[in-house]
Chains A and B, each alone.
Chain A
Amino acid sequence: MIRGKCWKLEDNVSTDHIISGKYKFGAIDSLDAMVPHVLEEVIPDFYKKVRKGDVIVAGRNFGKGSSREQAPRLLKMVGVSAVVAKSFSHIFFRNAINVGLLVVVAQKVPDVSETGDTVEVDPEGGVVRNVTKGVEETVNALPSEVTAILKAGGIVEYIKNHGAPPWLKGTE
């Protein structure tokens, strides 16, 4: 179970919004150097304001655009514990799971949430809750392979623990 402060974002937050190309490419050899620019054009100084465990709650099409994996990696690095959105771009969704950032699709909670609310996410129980607003929503539980990857902290950690990705067994 994750419990954190909500950062509310709108529809169509792109990976350019999360980490702009001009900063990503300016510091292409170092993730650490990109940190001050995370979401900077949406929430100035986000990297200073965000606290470990905070949850982003957004609208439709979160993470659209560029495939840059720096986007979910940087959100995780600055302390974001989960992203709850009405829908995700497929590349961002895969990237987030691979790097161990919890992503949950929900509909009601994004509609009522405001920045500063307390939000809870229980991926295994399939529940997302805005505690401040008293709104709870049942969401589809993630497939067991995905849960296993997230529990390990990402696909790399999973492979280190098990020797191969979860889907590879039985395909050789």
Chain B
Amino acid sequence: MGFIDELLSSVVGREVSPGEVVVVDVDVVYAHDGTAPLVVDVVERELSLEKLEAACRTYFFIDHLAPAPHVAAASVHGKMREFCRKHGIRLYDVGNGICHQVVVDEGIVRSGMVVMGADSHTPTVGALGVYALGVGSTDAAIAMAYGKQWVRVPPTVKVTLTGRPEPGVMSKDVILNVIGELGTDGTMGKVVEFHGSTLKFFSMDSRFTLTNMSVEMGSESAVIPVDELTEQWIKARGLTLHRLIDYNPSKSPFVDEIVFEVGDMEPVVAAPPDVDNVVAVSEIEGEEVDQVFIGSCTNGRLEDIEVAARILRGGRVSKGVRCIISPASRLVYTEALKRGYLRTLAEAGCIIAPPTCGPCVGGHMGILAEGEVAIATTNRNFPGRMGHRDSKVYLASPATAAATALKGSLTDPREYLRGWWT
């Protein structure tokens, strides 16, 4: 039994095993302006429901096209606001931030919960010891309408990360190295559970990047069992556990156990056209870029903005490069403002954008033209992801992205970070 199987057993009230289909009460369900329009359609137009059983556990976010870049988005946002008013749903409007960040900033998602998000990166919040499942709009609408959904109890793969990462090697590099080894369907039909000594060196900010990117190797979800660091993080924010899971990983029959030695890893990029096309930055240095994007649910947290500010302090974004910074939430934004990171970045020539998913999904705020090359701290580099089908996206850590912004071409960040790393 992995952590998630224990969690589901606790929710269902009996021991469940992988492969079983169970019906669960959903503790939190959310959708955003990319997926909420169909949620609204399903509830109002298709099912004609007057009441949502789980309205008080439902949250809407305007984060993908925020603020609205065109009339189509504006009208969808209007529909979402009206729907939330009618059903008494809590709406996080433009400026609050990206759903997966806001739900943890605000203490909406707490350890031990069953969470469904109408977004594939919902497993991000699994870093708090949560069963988080990404679903489509209809599944989310049904969870809102009935307060329940069916899930298949997943088999668990144990991924052990051992050793201390070298300065300049971030959790993004670690998870890209893992995806490079396992492939984009390497953990398909399973959930990933992280263990190992490396976790001690990773803050919650870093850990969210691990669970977030696990989706890119096919994982149904990803989780980090609650440990001391999680508990400290929860306490520091004045929050509590939602459900205490009595869990002993040494008794777990995992379907697979894979060990990665992190001490040997280098900064890497995922080169186009897919996330498992992982190459050491040192091998590809010199590839010129037109745009740098630091942000998203993958790497838009305080630690990510901090490392970018550290590297760009006193420097200047290379001529001809657009460097866009988007803190993932209002909390991250205001904290980065107070600590002077945003000032440092603005003075270095960066463009400070509001919290938005826009550039990552080719929505707005930095769409690429034909032939353009971007380095982004995001999660997908599929053809045309950030714009024209013949534009290219390299996925990287915020440190690599910031060093690249300085030089104008792909750059190993380690030389900028000697003696700094915690």
Note whether A and B form a binding pair.
Answer: yes
Interface size in chain B (residues, C-beta < 8 A): 50
| CB within 8 Å of A: which B136-150 residues | 136-139, 142, 146, 148, 150
Asked if A41 contacts B389 (CB within 8 A), the reply is yes
Asked if B382 contacts A165 (CB within 8 A), the reply is no
Asked if A94 contacts B188 (CB within 8 A), the reply is no
Q: Of the 9-residue stretches B33-41, B228-236, B311-319, which lies at the interface with chain A?
A: B33-41
The minimal Cβ–Cβ distance linking A126 to chain B, given in whole angstroms, is: 19
Asked if A165 contacts B189 (CB within 8 A), the reply is no
Q: Which residues of A contact B136 (CB under 8 A)?
A: 67-69, 91, 94-95, 98
Q: Of the 9-residue stretches A76-84, A109-117, A131-139, A155-163, which lies at the interface with chain B?
A: A155-163
A70 at interface (Cβ–Cβ under 8 A)? yes
Q: Which residues of B contact A164 (CB under 8 A)?
A: 146
Asked if B137 contacts A65 (CB within 8 A), the reply is no
Asked if A21 contacts B385 (CB within 8 A), the reply is yes
Interface centre among B37, B79, B137 (most CB of A within 10 A): B137
Asked if A165 contacts B142 (CB within 8 A), the reply is yes
What residue in chain A is nearest B79 (Cβ atoms)? A29
The minimal Cβ–Cβ distance linking A61 to chain B, given in whole angstroms, is: 4
Q: Which residues of A contact B146 (CB under 8 A)?
A: 164-165, 168
The minimal Cβ–Cβ distance linking B219 to chain A, given in whole angstroms, is: 9
What residue in chain A is nearest B122 (Cβ atoms)? A67
Asked if B185 contacts A17 (CB within 8 A), the reply is no
Candidates A12, A24, A70, A165; contact of B274 at CB < 8 Å: A12
Cα A106 to Cα B364 in complex, Å, equals 39
B56 at interface (Cβ–Cβ under 8 A)? no
Asked if B34 contacts A156 (CB within 8 A), the reply is no
Q: Which residues of B contact A95 (CB under 8 A)?
A: 135-136, 138-139
B380 at interface (Cβ–Cβ under 8 A)? yes
What residue in chain B is nearest A23 (Cβ atoms)? B362
Q: Which residues of B contact A70 (CB under 8 A)?
A: 38
Asked if B148 contacts A94 (CB within 8 A), the reply is no
Q: Which residues of B contact A68 (CB under 8 A)?
A: 34-35, 136
The minimal Cβ–Cβ distance linking B16 to chain A, given in whole angstroms, is: 14
Asked if B33 contacts A156 (CB within 8 A), the reply is no
Asked if B138 contacts A98 (CB within 8 A), the reply is yes
Asked if A61 contacts B118 (CB within 8 A), the reply is no
Cα A55 to Cα B380 in complex, Å, equals 27
Interface centre among A30, A65, A73 (most CB of B within 10 A): A65
Q: Which residues of A contact B218 (CB under 8 A)?
A: 61, 64, 89
Q: Of the 9-residue stretches B65-73, B289-297, B335-343, which lies at the interface with chain A?
A: B65-73
Candidates A29, A30, A65; contact of B380 at CB < 8 Å: A65
Asked if B37 contacts A156 (CB within 8 A), the reply is no
| CB within 8 Å of B: which A81-101 residues | 87, 89-91, 94-95, 98-99
Asked if A24 contacts B120 (CB within 8 A), the reply is no
B179 at interface (Cβ–Cβ under 8 A)? no
Q: Which residues of A contact B362 (CB under 8 A)?
A: 20-22, 25
The minimal Cβ–Cβ distance linking B129 to chain A, given in whole angstroms, is: 21
- Contact mask for chain A residues 23-43; partner B; CB cutoff 8 A; 1 contact, 0 none: 011111110000000000100
B100 at interface (Cβ–Cβ under 8 A)? no
B75 at interface (Cβ–Cβ under 8 A)? yes
B167 at interface (Cβ–Cβ under 8 A)? no
Cα A30 to Cα B76 in complex, Å, equals 10
B64 at interface (Cβ–Cβ under 8 A)? yes
Q: A28-B72, A167-B23 are in contact. Are A61 and B188 (CB under 8 A)?
A: yes
Asked if A28 contacts B120 (CB within 8 A), the reply is no
Cα A170 to Cα B369 in complex, Å, equals 54
Q: Which residues of A contact B148 (CB under 8 A)?
A: 168, 171
A60 at interface (Cβ–Cβ under 8 A)? yes
Q: Which residues of B contact A91 (CB under 8 A)?
A: 120, 134-136
Cα A28 to Cα B75 in complex, Å, equals 9
Asked if B185 contacts A69 (CB within 8 A), the reply is no
Asked if B384 contacts A16 (CB within 8 A), the reply is yes
Cα A73 to Cα B46 in complex, Å, equals 14
Q: A17-B382, A21-B363, A87-B188 are in contact. Are A67 and B120 (CB under 8 A)?
A: yes
Q: Which residues of B contact A67 (CB under 8 A)?
A: 35, 118-120, 134-136
Query: Which are the 5 A-B pairs with shortest beta-carbon distances?
Result: A95-B136, A69-B136, A22-B362, A21-B361, A25-B363
User: Can you list 16 contacts pairing A with B, beta carbon distance less than 8 Å?
Assistant: A16-B384, A20-B389, A21-B363, A21-B385, A22-B362, A25-B64, A26-B70, A61-B188, A65-B120, A66-B34, A69-B136, A90-B188, A94-B135, A95-B138, A155-B142, A160-B47
A-B contact sample (4 more), CB < 8 A, given A90-B220, A164-B146: A20-B384, A30-B72, A66-B34, A95-B138
